[in-house]
Copies of this chain bind each other. A is one copy, B any other.
Amino acid sequence: MAHPLFEKHQTLLQRALEAVRGRSYWSAYSENPKTYGENAIEEGRKAFSAYLDAQFYLDQPGVMGRVIAEPSPYGLKLDISFPQCSPDALIAAAKGAMATWVRAGADTRAAVCAEIIERLNGRTMEIAHAVMHTTGQSLMMAFQSGGPHAQDRGLEAVAQAWGEMKNVPEAVVWEKPQGANPPLVVEKRYTVAPRGLALLLACATSPTWSAYPALFASLATGNAVIVKPHPSAILPLAITVALARQTLKEAGFDANLVSLLVDDSGTPVAKDLAVHPDIRLVDCAGRSEYAEWFEENARQARVFTHKSGVNCVVVESTDDYKGMLRNLAVTLSLHSGQTSMAPQVILVSSEGIKTPTGTYLPDQFGRDLSLAISALLEDNARAVEVLGAIQSPATVARIDAMREFGTESGQILRDSSTLQHPHWPNARVHSPLLLRAEISDRQVYMEERFGPISFVVETATTSESFAVAERIMREKGAVTFAVYSTNPVMQQLAEDVAMRAGVALSFNLTGGLFLTQSAAFSDYFGTGANPAASAALIDAAFVTNRFYVVQSRRLAG
């Protein structure tokens, strides 16, 4: 008999699976704030405020102490205290919770996951404020990216996992003809068995968006998940975990299938836990050096990482020079380049950029791009909405270091400046730093400079631009590659580079589509083929590596 939640969500799951397979536009959760009610934003703010200066309630085993939330990039002191639990207690509880969850089967697990996501959707605005005040995203971006977009990605993972699990029948009668003798009849049963316990290490800049795929892929395939947020972005995932636990409990399962493990920057726990023999899956979104540690050391687990990279843009020609500049200006400014999709290196050949209004040489392009950024950010109120706040002081330090390089070499195209936020006087708001770099300055532009820092690099020819881009993306990794060219031969070259570098390619972006947009149910985020990520959101391998099939058979009769 089907679980009532499967009856409730079956149609949604089927529609989501169709979307995954079809990859044309579909979304389960609205990105229009009005859909959430007239006063939703304000109600979300109130719900968020209720967490401040208080103890976050979470009924987990093995509480040893409490960890206090770090202040918001907007300057707000959060002072939320989260229960800090013993990893061993969480492991023991999670292991005990799995057997019933496994027996429940694929339909029920997928439906319970869909229910959790639906309830997360109901708490979207509260989570939006939590995302804003941990990541530094503007409220609108925190709402869209941290809310419906993250929820869609979660549902996409559930659908992908459900589809793969449903390819394995639960039982079958196998009947083999034996010539003149009666057939050999064997009853076989197949069970989707979880890999084991999953450790999810979330990042500081998109705690829900980058965590939901792994959380729901692991959970849907039968694994228990220990969620370890970045110390500076605990609240969005604490709310998520609390809600998941409550939903699991109400659906008749052990809440310890999902638990929250917090630490602070001073005493990190992730590395100790990741090599524990019971941890069989590790998902890690974060800086390359950090994530690579888990790839190297968590040998008993399957490790999925989303790291950093050096995304490239090659500009050869365009039939809309101004539209290209506007689009690039938005891409470089949005959330101050603090996503793994933001470009860092813009390659232009000394032959210039061919356009219907003439050829623009690299120096001219640098000046024009600088002006386009300044025009975008001219109005302060609009600028702070585009830029958001800088999540980490380390990013401010990187801006300063790169400004120093630019000053010394005389290559600043557009300096970064601090902006005053009208509502948050202590917010860390910095406009983008745009630099020129010589092709020989490899040690500068080929290293990732996370944040609002980018380089215009002049090459001899567009072929060299492609060669440099390929080398950067293969060696340093990349999740996006933008090419501006109206020339079919160049476009083919670009496709070849993208294939060899294993990177998603976007051609001639102008208007309303930006490089940093990755649409659930349609765009693959990362490929796993270059150092920027060992996994793709959300391909089949992302879910099929999370389960085994265990079979039993007996002669019928």
Contact = CB atoms under 8 A, between A and B. Distances in A.
B554 A507 contact: yes
A132 B23 CA distance: 49
A101 to B, nearest CB: 12
Contacts of A523: 188, 551, 553
Contacts of A505: 550-553
B513 A555 contact: yes
Contacts of A536: 548-549
Tell me the number of copies of this protein.
2
A549 B533 CA distance: 13
Contact of A540 (B167, B177, B190, B555): B167
A498 interface: yes
Q: Interface size for chain A: under 10, 10 to 19, 20 to 34, or 35 or more residues?
A: 35 or more
Interface string A164-177: 10011100111111
A509 B23 contact: no
B169 A511 contact: no
Contacts of A190: 23, 524
Nearest to A181: B512
B174 A23 contact: yes
Interface string A50-84: 00000000000000000000000000000000000
Contacts of A173: 24
Interface string A500-532: 001111111111110000010011100111000
Contacts of A169: 21-23
Contact of A504 (B172, B544, B552): B552
A499 B513 CA distance: 48
Given A178-B512, A186-B513, A541-B541, A503 B22 contact: no
A178 B555 CA distance: 59
Contacts of A554: 506-508
A509 B555 contact: yes
Contacts of A508: 554-555
Interface in A170-223: 172-178, 184, 186, 188, 190-191, 193, 195
A102 interface: yes
Contact of A539 (B191, B539, B549): B549
Interface in A15-33: 21-25
A538 B19 CA distance: 26
Contacts of A178: 512
A368 interface: no
Given A184-B513, A188-B522, A190-B23, A544 B549 contact: no
Contacts of A510: 555
Interface of A: 21-25, 102, 163-164, 167-169, 172-178, 184, 186, 188, 190-191, 193, 195, 495, 498-499, 502-513, 519, 522-524, 527-529, 536, 539-541, 544-545, 548-555
Given A24-B175, A102-B499, A540-B544, 20 more contacts: A22-B172, A24-B172, A167-B540, A184-B511, A184-B513, A186-B513, A188-B522, A498-B552, A504-B550, A507-B553, A513-B553, A513-B555, A527-B549, A529-B548, A536-B548, A539-B544, A540-B540, A541-B545, A544-B545, A545-B545
Q: Top 8 nearest A-B pairs by Cβ distance?
A: A507-B554, A505-B552, A541-B544, A540-B544, A527-B548, A529-B548, A25-B176, A23-B172
